[in-house]
Amino acid sequence: MMAPCSPRFKAIAMDLDGTVYNGSKAVQGAAEAVAELRATGLEVLFCTNNSTKTGKQISDKLCRMGIPCTADMIYTSGDAAADCIRKMGSPRTYVMGSDVLKHSISAVSEITNVPEDAKALAVGFDPTVDYEKITFGVRAALATEKIVFCNEDAVFKKEDGKIYPGPGAVTAAIRACSKREPDAVAGKPSVYMMNSIENRTGLEAEEILVVGDSFDTDIMFAKNCGTVGILVGEKVPGIFAANNISEIPQLALKFGTSDCL
């Protein structure tokens, strides 16, 4: 049994896609690693830039993989986007994205289906996006006061191992056609998701260790939030790295007790 973790880190914010699971399959050793982390006293939280799933859907998926989880342990870019809209005063919002994102935004703001009537635009991932949807999104961007992107991930992998365009393909179109920049990018690597974690847990960012498989998304998220990140499955000079998720518990303990970090 590992010794209790140092108070330096009280929680771990762990990426999901590519770190804990790939599609519907858990990464080998993921359930054991999460259990070991919890045994050290760390609170394990899960962060994803996926705005198409609810916390309940994701927590149910983790439970089926042998990782006990509840919805309040999940942080999505859709939830972070809703927080951004709320902090902007809950302006009437046109949503370009999934039904899940629309539901999240509707909890904090009135939703409009008329782009020109919007006071805010929220853009998330939509695998059914087409020319008409981009047209309406551009019209909303030109009319609105505030723009919030869930995230700008350029590509992602599916279970078949192939690369597919991510939400960045859509946000790039909105940017190019409207000639406007977003007022906020809610998901990783921006700080807004960490703000949500801090508000929900009462912890400070420096008390939260970040783990993920993307330098641009996860490690930059840690850097932007002023905390430590561990990159899984890839080595980058000057970055703490693990070959796989099974190494994370020992590294978390090591980093938690190190005076040099």
pLDDT in tens, 181-192: 999 999 999 999
In DSSP notation, 182-233 reads: -SEE-STTSSHHHHHHHHHH---GGGEEEEES-IIIIIHHHHHHTS-EEEES
Judge contact between 16 and 50, C-beta under 8 A: yes
**Res 132: pLDDT:** 98
Judge contact between 111 and 93, C-beta under 8 A: yes
Question: What phi-psi label fits residue 162: left (phi over 0), alpha (psi between -120 and 50 degrees) or beta?
Answer: beta
pTM value > 0.95: no
**Res 6: pLDDT:** 45
CATH fold of 11-49+189-257 reads Rossmann fold (3.40.50)
**Res 234: pLDDT:** 86
242-254 pLDDT tens trace: 999 999 999 988 8
34-79 pLDDT tens trace: 999 999 999 999 999 999 999 999 999 999 999 999 999 999 999 9
> Among residues of the chain, what percentage have pLDDT more than 90?
86
**What are the domain boundaries of the chain?**
11-49+189-257, 78-185
Judge contact between 85 and 107, C-beta under 8 A: no
CATH fold of 78-185 reads Rossmann fold (3.40.50)
Cα angle value 50/53/58 (rounded, 5°):
95
